[in-house]
Amino acid sequence: VDFVNPRGFLEKFPHCYPNQGWRPVAAFQDVTVMAALGMGFLASSLRRYSWSSVAFSLFLLVLGVQWALLLDGFLENFSNGKVVIRLLSIQLATMSAMSVLISLGAIQGKANLLQLAVMVPLEVTAFSTMRMVNRRFLNDHANMMHIYVFSAYFGLTVAYCLSRRLPSGTQEKDRTATSPSLFAMLGTLFLWTFWPSFNCALLNDPNERKNAIFNTYYALAVSTVTATSVSAWAHPKGKINMTHIHNAVLAGGVAVGASCHLISSPWLAMVLGFVAGLISSAGAECLPVCFNQVLGLHDTCGVYYTFSLPGLLGGITYIVLLTLQISWTKNSMTGYQVLYSEALRMALASNALCLVFSLVSGFLTGLLLNLKIWKGPHVTKYFDDQAFWKFPHLAVGF
Amino acid sequence: VDFVNPRGFLEKFPHCYPNQGWRPVAAFQDVTVMAALGMGFLASSLRRYSWSSVAFSLFLLVLGVQWALLLDGFLENFSNGKVVIRLLSIQLATMSAMSVLISLGAIQGKANLLQLAVMVPLEVTAFSTMRMVNRRFLNDHANMMHIYVFSAYFGLTVAYCLSRRLPSGTQEKDRTATSPSLFAMLGTLFLWTFWPSFNCALLNDPNERKNAIFNTYYALAVSTVTATSVSAWAHPKGKINMTHIHNAVLAGGVAVGASCHLISSPWLAMVLGFVAGLISSAGAECLPVCFNQVLGLHDTCGVYYTFSLPGLLGGITYIVLLTLQISWTKNSMTGYQVLYSEALRMALASNALCLVFSLVSGFLTGLLLNLKIWKGPHVTKYFDDQAFWKFPHLAVGF
Amino acid sequence: VDFVNPRGFLEKFPHCYPNQGWRPVAAFQDVTVMAALGMGFLASSLRRYSWSSVAFSLFLLVLGVQWALLLDGFLENFSNGKVVIRLLSIQLATMSAMSVLISLGAIQGKANLLQLAVMVPLEVTAFSTMRMVNRRFLNDHANMMHIYVFSAYFGLTVAYCLSRRLPSGTQEKDRTATSPSLFAMLGTLFLWTFWPSFNCALLNDPNERKNAIFNTYYALAVSTVTATSVSAWAHPKGKINMTHIHNAVLAGGVAVGASCHLISSPWLAMVLGFVAGLISSAGAECLPVCFNQVLGLHDTCGVYYTFSLPGLLGGITYIVLLTLQISWTKNSMTGYQVLYSEALRMALASNALCLVFSLVSGFLTGLLLNLKIWKGPHVTKYFDDQAFWKFPHLAVGF
pLDDT at A306 over 50: yes
- Which residue(s) pair with A79 in the sheet? A82
Q: Considering only the beta carbons, identify the residue of A21, A185, A205 that sits closest to B55.
A: A185
Of A196-205, B230-239, C118-127, C251-260, the poorest mean pLDDT is in B230-239
Residue C372 is given by DSSP the state G
What is the enclosing helix (H) or strand (E) of C82?
Answer: strand C82-83
Whether C4 contacts B325, CB under 8 Å: yes
Whether C61 contacts B228, CB under 8 Å: no
Range 227-266 of A in CB contact (< 8 A) with B: 228, 232, 235-243, 245, 249, 261-262, 264-266
Residues A224-257 have pLDDT tens digits of: 999 988 888 887 777 777 778 888 889 999 999 9
Section B243-255 average pLDDT:
87
pLDDT at B130 over 80: yes
| C105 vs C302: CA distance, rounded Å | 7
| A183 vs A54: CA distance, rounded Å | 10
Section B227-249 average pLDDT:
82
Nearest partner of B25 among A201, C193, C178, A97, judged by Cα: A201
Range 23-62 of A in CB contact (< 8 A) with B: 23, 26, 30
- Quick one: pLDDT at residue A223? 94
Confidence of residue B218 (pLDDT cuts 50, 70, 90): very high
Nearest partner of C105 among C256, C255, C243, C282, judged by Cα: C243
Quick check: C89 contacting B, CB < 8 Å? Answer: no
Residue numbers in C near B249 (CB within 8 A): 58
pLDDT at B9 over 50: no
Other CB atoms within a 10 A radius of the CB of residue A150 amount to 29
DSSP string over A32-78? HHIIIIIIHHHTTTBTTTHHHHHHHHHHHHHHHHHHHHHHHHHHTSE
Residue type for position A300: T
Structural domains in chain B, sorted by start: 24-165+174-374 (1.10.3430.10)
What average pLDDT does the structure give for chain B? Answer: 78
Residue B79 is given by DSSP the state E
| C266 vs A92: CA distance, rounded Å | 17
Name the percent of chain B lying above pLDDT 90. 29
Q: Say which residue, A20 or A363, is predicted with more confidence.
A: A363
pLDDT at A6 over 60: no
Confidence of residue B1 (pLDDT cuts 50, 70, 90): very low
Half-sphere exposure of residue A55, counting CA atoms within 13 Å on the CB side? Answer: 33
| A319 vs C218: CA distance, rounded Å | 39
| B374 vs B384: CA distance, rounded Å | 18
Q: Are residues C207 and A10, on separate chains, in Cβ contact within 8 Å?
A: yes
Other CB atoms within a 10 A radius of the CB of residue A46 amount to 24
State which residues of chain C have pLDDT below 70.
Answer: 1-24, 45-49, 77-81, 164-180, 292-293, 329-340, 375-398
Residue numbers in A near B16 (CB within 8 A): none
pLDDT at A343 over 50: yes
Confidence of residue A395 (pLDDT cuts 50, 70, 90): very low
| C283 vs A305: CA distance, rounded Å | 44
| B6 vs A325: CA distance, rounded Å | 8
- Quick one: pLDDT at residue C7? 36
Q: Say which residue, B76 or A58, is predicted with more confidence.
A: A58
Residue A176 is given by DSSP the state B
Name the percent of chain A lying above pLDDT 90. 29
- Per-residue buried b or exposed e for A367-382, using 16+ beta carbons within 10 Å of the residue's own CB: ebbbeeebbeeebbbb
Section B180-195 average pLDDT:
88
E strands in A139-287: none
Tell me the backbone φ, ψ of residue C17, rounded to 5 degrees: -115, 110
Confidence of residue B378 (pLDDT cuts 50, 70, 90): very low
DSSP string over B26-50? HHHHHHHHIIIIIIHHHTTTBTTTH
> For residue B217, what is the nearest residue in chain C, using CA coordinates?
C90
Confidence of residue A387 (pLDDT cuts 50, 70, 90): very low
- Quick one: pLDDT at residue B170? 47
Residues B362-372 have pLDDT tens digits of: 999 999 988 87
Residue numbers in C near A7 (CB within 8 A): 205, 207-208
Quick check: B205 contacting C, CB < 8 Å? Answer: yes
- Quick one: pLDDT at residue A48? 64
| B162 vs B111: CA distance, rounded Å | 8
User: Can you list the pairs that C138-144 forms with residues at least 24 positions away whose Cβ atoms lie under 8 Å?
Assistant: C138/C346, C138/C347, C138/C350, C140/C202, C141/C202, C141/C203, C141/C212, C141/C261, C142/C258, C142/C318, C142/C347, C142/C350, C143/C350, C144/C92, C144/C95, C144/C202
Confidence of residue A168 (pLDDT cuts 50, 70, 90): very low
pLDDT at B357 over 80: yes
- Quick one: pLDDT at residue A178? 59
- Quick one: pLDDT at residue B149? 93
B136-145, B208-217, B268-277: which is most confident: B268-277
E strands in chain A: 78-79, 82-83
Task: Enter the pTM of the model.
Answer: 0.85
- Quick one: pLDDT at residue B385? 35
Q: How far is C48 from chain B (nearest CA, A)?
A: 10
Whether B221 contacts B254, CB under 8 Å: no
Bridge-based pairing of strands C78-79 and C82-83 is antiparallel
Q: Are residues A207 and B7, on separate chains, in Cβ contact within 8 Å?
A: yes
DSSP string over C213-265? HHHHHHHHHHHHHHHHHHHHHHSTT-PPPHHIIIIIHHHHHHHTTTTTTT--S
- Quick one: pLDDT at residue C225? 92
| B300 vs B292: CA distance, rounded Å | 11
- Quick one: pLDDT at residue C48? 64
Nearest partner of C172 among C235, C101, C109, judged by Cα: C109
Whether complex ipTM tops 0.95: no
> For residue A37, what is the nearest residue in chain C, using CA coordinates?
C189
> For residue C296, what is the nearest residue in chain A, using CA coordinates?
A397
Range 343-382 of A in CB contact (< 8 A) with C: 378-380, 382
Candidates A5, A7, A9, partner chain C, best to mutate (most C CBs within 10 A): A9
Q: How far apart are the first and last CA of chain A?
A: 52
Nearest partner of B17 among A326, A29, A215, judged by Cα: A215
